[in-house]
Chains A and B, each alone.
Chain A
């Protein structure tokens, strides 16, 4: 974990020998463990999708219905947003507030673009008759991809709240901790997407 070294100035300067626990350190570990639970959550959904892949009930599968151009565009948007969120953290470590917020806003816009394309994809699929109710295949597809989408949506809302807090309170160890944890979450969603792309889309169409 590339963690920032303790900045003497903005750290809580009042820990003593006995109260030696660094609150940011504790939050970061807690968030890593939360991510473990989220990994299990997605793993269960992936397993469900793989088990139910054959449950097509005679209806078409993704191999026939996926619009791969849109999916590739989604992928590029999300991967780029992961990169820009990294740039935001880099700016944060250099205590450059303005570039940091700019990169966060770019990240959010790319994420919103991803969501818009995903929504368009869903609407197209529904128009072709593939809905939650169509077959086990499509039930598990929409639930798995949709859960990822909900994660991205929550991430954007969370990021907006962090930007507002930084504008109000500036950068300190508390708000820096929030940005660090958010970027972890965002990278995690990126990693999940790579698995989604490979298992749900590429393995289906190739």
Chain B
């Protein structure tokens, strides 16, 4: 009996690596610490009522962002470990198998569990406030989306200590990811971690499209929407067309691995190339999904801090819509070397070059917005300005890669690695940081410390160029991606420099953690709700926003409605005529989303280990939750009475509306 348990445990838990034992210990300690703190301060009820069961878009947004920052830490540690291994020739810091797992989880964590939740976090916090709505269209579904993401992320991260991590690269190409070459459970964690969180992403895409189409304040036509909301609309539309492809691709890979089907196998008539096509039909739109909202953030910050209206609004909208359409027609540029023939490659080379044009239009629009503006340089604006050169260089190397014949040389080299990190860090990460700093006072009611923020900014930026510029060169010298060790002494210098850059970015992250920690205790309070003297509706209400957002929904007349309103007040003209306060219709909290996500987790975990006794109850649980919601949805609403709204508003605004 004891031997059986021992044998099971040695296969169930990942053993033999001191790094993993360290992680085991820290996970147990952190969990015990959290349980102790919650119990000691009697915070379980608070956690349950205010966070786990909440359907408030602002709180869901905060939870997304917290999770994303944790995942940024995890993915960042992976990156630093890889760069440590590659600092010098012939190092033995990581075993090749371990290295494979780490580059796989680094990619997966950074895209699915860092970039996506940070993006949804910003969607949640900003969109309803920006369009003058009380919540998203489907608050319950919104909570479900978050908890599905969370369940998926936890399932994926569990592979680190239980069963073993996936190791077939972030997109898990078969046949390497098939059961023949990858019989362990790592790939199952990959499939179900991403599948579960992907369903959540799909639901969020639907939710935000409907929110934007149906919940805008009266008078806000589509062409009067703030640019960030437009970017969310473009990204959400891309999500609903791209994510079902991912769902099916992962399902087919699961069928291959679980039922022994022959979609992507080398025998039985299967076709591994089809997987690569399918995954990039989702994967290429995906990179535009994450970068479009960053473009939206820059459009807001650049107008606010240049104190001018955004240059070329219509062309910005047009560019974003065009990008989201063309993003579906470039996927094959990820595998020009597959042998699809000259005509196919030429088509995808040309579409890839074309998609650079609307992006260029946007860059010029931001520059022209700044032209002759009275620019101030708080941290959100610094990230915005740093983005422009980073993204232009990254975009140019992207156009180099799009030249199909040349790509045969660049393919899978460090040149490519440097390119996509430059657009993903320089574009997406810089953009989300700008957004995070810009809307932080709206979320929490205080501003983050600018001094520490500037240190973080410079460490990030210098580290970024020090890390990735050498990678272009070492890539041109022939260093390929995903090698766990190199022996060529000619590559040493560039690799050492690159590793130093990675550590600088690691230090930058620590500065950000310190910045947040310090600012919680000593900060400048956002008393007006409009700390940046900004232009859009979310800054017309107090910070943090009350649960119903707008006591009275304003009538919108122009694009920068809040700015125009302030101008009217400055000129002494008649301000907004807000109607009387009326009872507000609100959704009730619900425990079902968190419970349903837990059932999904059980289902996923069972399928990972082929334990049907666990998976089937999980599936039944999911259906019970669906039924429970269907039967109780009509009771899940309530009204906030006028007196309570008036009391809240009086406290928040210090008596003056």
Contacts and interface: CB of A to CB of B under 8 A. Distances in A.
Given A52-B263, A132-B260, A37 B631 contact: no
Interface residues of A, number: 45
Q: Which of B210, B245, B278 has the most chain A CB within a 10 Å cutoff?
A: B210
Contacts of A57: 262, 267-269
Given A30-B138, A41-B247, A132-B255, A21 B263 contact: no
Nearest to B552: A18
A133 B274 contact: no
A102 to B, nearest CB: 22
A37 B579 contact: no
A17 interface: yes
A51 B256 CA distance: 16
Contacts of B218: 17-18, 20
Interface of B is mostly: helix
Given A19-B134, A37-B240, A45 B269 contact: no
A140 B263 contact: yes
A57 B627 CA distance: 43
A165 B206 contact: no
Contact of B269 (A14, A16, A38, A55): A55
B388 interface: no
B27 interface: no
A48 interface: yes
A30 B215 contact: no
Interface string A103-144: 000000000000000000000000000001111110110010
B261 A37 contact: no
Contact of A133 (B240, B262, B271, B584): B262
B379 interface: no
Interface in B222-279: 240-241, 243-245, 247-249, 251-252, 255-256, 259-263, 265, 267-271, 274, 278
A54 B252 CA distance: 17
A199 interface: no
Contacts of A174: 633-634
B209 interface: yes
B347 interface: no
Nearest to A17: B579
B271 A55 contact: yes
Interface in A1-47: 14, 16-21, 25-26, 29-30, 33-34, 36-38, 40-41, 44-45
Interface of B: 134, 137-138, 202, 205-207, 209-210, 213-215, 218, 240-241, 243-245, 247-249, 251-252, 255-256, 259-263, 265, 267-271, 274, 278, 552-553, 579, 582, 584-585, 623, 627, 630-631, 633-634
Interface of A: 14, 16-21, 25-26, 29-30, 33-34, 36-38, 40-41, 44-45, 48, 51-52, 54-57, 132-137, 139-140, 143, 157-158, 161-162, 164-165, 169, 174, 178
Closest 4 interchain pairs by CB?
A55-B269, A136-B269, A139-B261, A40-B244
